[in-house]
């Protein structure tokens, strides 16, 4: 996406340091306050009043631009992005950043996942696996013996299920409620 092409459809030609730019779809106003190779500062008035937008923009830039360092100053309505200067041409990088400024409202923030949620999911999956094996064993016994009977596999699976439930309870009691961010939402954006 070419920076000049992006704004050629606007009525006024953008001045690098003073004019606010807007695209037709999102209408996010911004201006380039300062720019050198490897660093650009944008003024985005929305940053001062919309913390969700600021968080989305920061996450979007850090996930899309390799080794980018992002600093947001809501009081000054500005965002500073430091990026490796050899990554791509500065004009192309600026164009990419402008695109991210415009699409940030539509980006879903990652969901928070706790240790307990992860452990619960793992142990529930193990319990479901044991239940599936138990059902397969019951079906095999019924086919072979024309009746449902408890055999050593059923006793082994029941014991395994009780052990897994006990481990799950013990681990859930011990684990702190630390939160992690899932990256799946970012990758789908």
Dihedral sign computed on CA atoms, order 57, 63, 65, 66: positive
pLDDT of residue 44 exceeding 90, the answer is yes
pLDDT in the model for residue 148: 59
Q: State the DSSP H helix or E strand holding residue 39, giving kind and residue range, or none if neither.
A: strand 39-43
* CA distances in angstroms from 23 to 19, 49, 82, 93, listed in the order given: 13, 20, 24, 17
Nearest 5°: phi and psi at 42? Answer: -110, 145
pLDDT of residue 125 exceeding 80, the answer is yes
- Per the listing, tokens 């452990």 go with 119
**Given pLDDT bands bounded at 50, 70 and 90, which one contains residue 82?**
very high
CATH number for the segment(s) 3-106? 3.30.1360
- Per the listing, tokens 């003073």 go with 18
For the chain, the residue count is 189
Least confident residue range of 3-12, 116-125, 133-142, 149-158: 3-12
- The domains of the chain are located at 3-106, 112-188
pLDDT of residue 39 exceeding 70, the answer is yes
How many CA atoms within 13 Å lie on the side-chain side of 150?
6
Q: Which residue has the higher pLDDT, 99 or 11?
A: 99
**Given pLDDT bands bounded at 50, 70 and 90, which one contains residue 10?**
very low
Q: Residues 89-118: what's their mean pLDDT? A: 82
pLDDT in the model for residue 13: 39
Contacts of 164 (CB under 8 A, 6+ apart): 123, 126, 127, 130
pLDDT in the model for residue 139: 81
pLDDT in the model for residue 146: 67
pLDDT in the model for residue 47: 92
* CA distances in angstroms from 69 to 19, 61, 64, 79, 164, listed in the order given: 25, 9, 12, 10, 44
pLDDT of residue 79 exceeding 90, the answer is yes
């Amino acid at each position: 996406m070419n920076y000049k092409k992006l704004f050629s459809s606007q009525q006024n030609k953008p001045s690098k340091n003073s004019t606010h730019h807007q695209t037709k779809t999102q209408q996010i106003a911004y201006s380039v306050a300062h720019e050198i190779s490897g660093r650009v500062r944008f003024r985005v008035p929305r940053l001062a009043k919309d913390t969700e937008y600021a968080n989305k923009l920061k996450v979007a830039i850090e996930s899309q631009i390799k080794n980018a360092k992002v600093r947001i100053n809501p009081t000054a309505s500005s965002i500073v992005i430091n990026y490796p200067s050899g990554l791509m041409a500065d004009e192309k990088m600026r164009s990419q950043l402008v695109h991210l400024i415009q699409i940030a409202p539509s980006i879903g923030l990652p969901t928070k996942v706790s240790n307990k949620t992860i452990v619960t999911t793992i142990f529930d999956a193990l319990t479901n696996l044991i239940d599936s094996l138990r059902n397969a064993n019951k079906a095999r016994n019924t086919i072979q013996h024309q009746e449902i009977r408890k055999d050593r596999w059923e006793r082994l699976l029941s014991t395994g299920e009780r052990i897994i439930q006990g481990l799950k309870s013990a681990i859930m009691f011990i684990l702190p409620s630390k939160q992690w961010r899932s990256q799946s939402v970012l990758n789908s954006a």
